[in-house]
């Protein structure tokens, strides 16, 4: 039984092995066929992919060609690509900004006839030769003032906000920002008082280099309103203290001299600048510290627009992605700004109503 069985088993195993062999061969053939098929499929796939890639490539090229203008117009609505005053105007019109800070220097007042401090040949410093002072800057030097206050008061007579100089479109533009509820604060280096004359409320102003609107005795330290000494300044008389009996100290308008502390209001910048969402820098050389450094107190993402004759400070090298500098006559640039905002009629109304008030107050 065992043999038979073994025979049977042997036969069986033979037939099995034959079957297996043929099966294996079949499988091999099938595998080869499959492999061939797979290879062909892979080839087809590669051809397909390469074709679709080339299509994609063409598409990509086409899309990129189409996207260029699209991208520009889309980015024009975001602060990241401000390329013109129009873009900034759109940003304001779209309601994208609510807290605008304006930083201003002497360049905004040249349009009102006040000479720029720092322009060679036409600047206020250059015109001080007639006062025979040791250096032009001595007129704002406290030690020199204590010895000889006359040159300062001569200058004060010229600069005193008496109505001789009128605010121009730049001052009125800032007033319009206030009227529209967009002005967080205006930081000005100017002492000509034209911001106040344009009707910008004192609460919205930081007169970083002081003001004629208040004055202090240089001896007893008592303060008074600028009005108290206005007549004397305009008549060329040095005002003496009558605030304290027998003091007779010189009363000086609260203009900040070299080395003197800045007004306390200057430190408003610590809370103002972090919440500023658009910084407008008008007509300043950004040379006098600490005022100049205010420009970098705004958040890194805050758009900054400089309108000035030339690029200055961080705008020389476009320090930040959201910076824009427009050079040239600032009055022209502001007119463009007004046009782009559609505020032409509005600013005319503001100017007309304010000029009536100024006319009534003329000396």
- Please give the Cα distance from 3 to 157 (Å, whole number): 139
**Would you count residue 177 as binding Zn ion (CB under 5 A)?**
no
Can you say whether residue 259 is alpha, beta or left, with left for phi > 0 and alpha for psi between -120 and 50 degrees?
left
Q: Which H, E and C letters describe 133-152, residue by residue?
A: CCCHHHHHEHHHHHHCCHHH
Contact assessment for residue 312 and residue 106, using Cβ atoms and an 8 Å cutoff: no
The H or E element containing residue 103 is: strand 100-104
How far from chain centre, in Å, is Cα 279? 3
User: Which residue's CB is nearer to Zn ion, number 45 or number 260?
Assistant: 260
- Integer Cα distance of 20 and 280 in angstroms: 89
Size of the site for Zn ion (CB under 5 A): 7
Q: Is 359 known to be catalytic?
A: no
Q: Between residues 190 and 250, which has the closer beta carbon with respect to Zn ion?
A: 250
By CB under 5 A, residue 220 contacts Zn ion? yes
Beta-bridge mates of residue 280 = 102, 305
Scan residues 237-256 and list those touching Zn ion (CB under 5 A): 241, 244, 247, 249
Query: Is 224 marked within a binding site?
Result: no
16 is in an annotated binding site: no
Would the annotation count 276 as a binding residue?
no
The only residue of 219, 240, 265, 320 in contact with Zn ion, by rule CB under 5 A: 219
* CB of 235 vs Zn ion, minimal distance in Å: 20
Closest separation between CB of residue 242 and Zn ion, Å? 8
Measured from the CB atom, the residue of 219 and 232 that comes closer to Zn ion is: 219
Helix/strand/coil for 281: strand
Site for Zn ion contains 146 (CB under 5 A) = no
Q: Which residues bind Zn ion (CB under 5 A)?
A: 217, 219-220, 241, 244, 247, 249
Q: Which residues are the active-site residues?
A: 209
Annotated binding residues for Zn(2+), written as ranges, equal: 217, 220, 241, 247
């Amino acid at each position: 039984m065992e043999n038979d069985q073994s025979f049977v088993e042997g036969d069986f195993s033979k037939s099995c092995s034959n079957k297996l062999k043929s099966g294996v061969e079949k499988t091999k053939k099938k595998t080869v066929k499959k492999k061939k098929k797979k290879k062909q499929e892979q080839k087809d796939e590669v051809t397909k992919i390469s074709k679709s890639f080339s299509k994609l490539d063409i598409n990509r090229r086409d899309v990129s060609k189409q996207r260029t203008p699209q991208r520009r117009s889309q980015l024009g609505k975001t602060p990241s690509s401000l390329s013109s005053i129009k873009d900034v105007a759109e940003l304001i019109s779209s309601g994208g900004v609510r807290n605008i800070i304006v930083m201003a220097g002497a360049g905004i007042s040249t349009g009102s006839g006040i000479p720029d401090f720092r322009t060679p040949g036409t600047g206020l410093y250059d015109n001080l030769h007639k006062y025979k002072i040791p250096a032009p800057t001595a007129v704002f030097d406290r030690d020199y003032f204590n010895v000889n206050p006359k040159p300062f008061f001569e200058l004060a007579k010229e600069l005193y906000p008496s109505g001789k100089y009128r605010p121009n479109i730049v001052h009125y533009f800032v007033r319009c920002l206030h009227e529209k509820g967009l002005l967080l604060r205006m930081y000005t280096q100017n002492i000509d008082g034209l911001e106040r004359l344009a009707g910008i409320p004192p609460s919205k102003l930081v007169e970083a280099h002081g003001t004629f609107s208040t004055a202090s005795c240089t001896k007893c330290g008592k303060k008074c309103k600028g009005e108290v000494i206005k007549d004397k300044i305009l008549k060329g008389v040095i005002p003496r203290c009558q605030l304290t009996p027998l003091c007779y100290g010189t009363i000086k308008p609260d203009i900040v001299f070299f080395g003197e502390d800045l007004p306390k209001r200057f430190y408003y910048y610590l809370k103002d600048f972090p919440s500023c969402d658009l910084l407008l820098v008008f007509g300043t050389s950004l040379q006098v510290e600490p005022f100049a450094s205010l420009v970098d107190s705004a958040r890194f993402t805050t758009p900054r627009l400089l309108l000035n004759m030339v690029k200055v400070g961080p705008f020389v090298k476009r320090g930040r992605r959201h910076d824009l500098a427009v050079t040239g006559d600032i009055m022209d640039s502001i007119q463009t700004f007004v046009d782009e905002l559609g505020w032409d009629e509005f600013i005319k109304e503001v100017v007309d109503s304010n000029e009536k008030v100024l006319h009534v107050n003329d000396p």
